[in-house]
Amino acid sequence: MTSKKEVGQEKGFVFSSDRPFRLFYHPASSASLRVVLYLRCRGVPPSLVKLTSTELTTDNRGMLVFTMPEGDPETKKIGTKNLLAFNPEGRVPILLLSNGRKMTQSGPIIDYIEDCLPTGADKTMLPEDPWMRAEVRRIMWIVAADIQPYQNIPFIIQAMGEWGMIKAPPLTHPLRLHFVRREFGAVEKIMCQCAGKFSVGDEITLADCFLVPQIRNALLAEIDLAGEFPTMSRVWENLLEVEVISGVLEEFGGIVQPLAFDADKFEVYARRLGSG
């Protein structure tokens, strides 16, 4: 039987409740939600990956800015709450090892944690069949690479303000809706071939962990999921019935993404753009 101190040994580093990982995250971050869904659905004990919420503010354009938590040892170590000093990307999630190493981006974080779990651990979140595993990864990367960057509110606001893109309300900006609808259409067709109760087959996979946050964002943009993407909508309803998933969504503010930007600050910024 594998003991805690044998779990995830990597060049002398021990992944255990004595030397846990820390995940810096925030409920307003879709990428953070992917990782937390993975941890909970995979059954990774909270004692092995401890969650630390960053703080949140907004800039003069209304865009969300994640900051280091007040009083945290890591904040004291770097001497500033500016997240860029901790992660040059300025985003969450961030996985911190007890030896000081840091990993960013939801996919690599999940891969690393998975590689540190005991061989043969239960509840694997990739199918055994190679083709179905590839389908899971295909959905994951459509979400992460082809949807999220282009529907991201900071991108939309910055593009309107600095790059001359058409001015429109950020949540329902035509470019945002275009990419969501185009790529959801692709995922819908894929799921027509591989979905069972969930996105790929009848077990929860990493595809679901990536799709859930993206659906929340789409609902915030008032996308008619049932009318436009019926297979995806059916899977979504099934996912909401899974206690662990509904529990995580409640922790993150509900079924619909609760906060995307500061509307009042954006209005002031938009008026300045209009008069410029």
- Collect the ranges in the chain with pLDDT lower than 50: 1-14
pLDDT value for 26: 97
Instruction: List all residues 6 or more positions away from 129 whose beta carbon is below 8 Å from its beta carbon.
Output: none
pLDDT tens digits for range 165-192: 999 999 999 999 999 999 999 999 999 9
> Do both 248 and 187 map to the same domain?
yes
Question: Domain ends where: 77, 92, 116?
Answer: 116
> Do both 140 and 271 map to the same domain?
yes
Domains of the chain: total: 2
CATH code of the domain covering residue 69: 3.40.30.10
> Do both 149 and 228 map to the same domain?
yes
Strands of 102-104's sheet in order across: 49-53, 21-25, 94-96, 102-104
Full domain range(s) for residue 165: 130-275
pTM: 0.93
pLDDT value for 119: 67
> Do both 179 and 70 map to the same domain?
no
For the chain, the DSSP string reads: ---GGGTT-BTTB--SSSS-EEEEE-TT-HHHHHHHHHHHHHT--TTTEEEEE-EEEE-TTSBEEEEPPTT-HHHHHHTSSBGGGT-TT--S-EEE-TTS-EEESHHHHHHHHHHHSPTT-SS-SS-SSHHHHHHHHHHHHIIIIIIHHHH-HHHHHHHHHHS-PPP--GGG-HHHHHHHHHHHHHHHHHHHHHBSSSSSBTS--HHHHHHHHHHHHHHHTT--HHHH-HHHHHHHHHHHTSHHHHHHHHHTTSSS---SB-HHHHHHHHHHHHH-
pLDDT value for 95: 99
Count of C-beta atoms within a 10 Å radius of residue 222: 11
> Do both 43 and 161 map to the same domain?
no
